[in-house]
Amino acid sequence: MSELHVLCRIADVDYVVPAADVMQMESFAGATRVPGARAEVAGLMQIRGHVVPVLDMRMVFGLPAIAPTLDSRVIVMKHGERVVGLLVDSAREVLKIPPGDFQPPPPVVTHQTEGFVKAVVQAGARFLMLIDFGKVIGEE
């Protein structure tokens, strides 16, 4: 696991994803809705000439969707050959977290997040949850 992680916020909770899996971050001005797609699919965006599906992480976590703000970001990540954007409320910080600092999440966290959180870590005064990107996109 990489030591560098991108910190993002969804609702009032701080999450991290490995920076090694992040291709880029983009401001979110909207996406083209896909008829018949699940509610968590915010739509499609064109990023650097590629069509990328975008998942609204609020909806993935069972939270109500909100209108995009100036802070809304799409974290474009790669898992194997799949490229998917994660719509989050904000993402502007990169943290160095030693892999050994992560702990398995308590059962209540695993249950409440439907397994989308694979580890937790205390970083200074903040408590961070590591998003299981493979689980989020359905590739466990």
Q: Which of 14-18, 51-55, 110-114, 128-132 has the lowest mean pLDDT?
A: 110-114
Closest CA to 26 of 7, 6, 47: 47
- Where in the sequence is the domain holding 131, given as residue range(s)? 4-136
pLDDT over 90 at 138, yes or no: no
Map 65-80 to HEC letters.
CCCCCCCCEEEEEEEC
> pTM for the whole thing?
0.91
User: How confident is the model at residue 1, as a pLDDT?
Assistant: 57
Domain harbouring 130, CATH code: 2.40.50.180
Q: How many domains does the chain have?
A: 1
pLDDT band for position 107 (cuts 50, 70, 90): confident
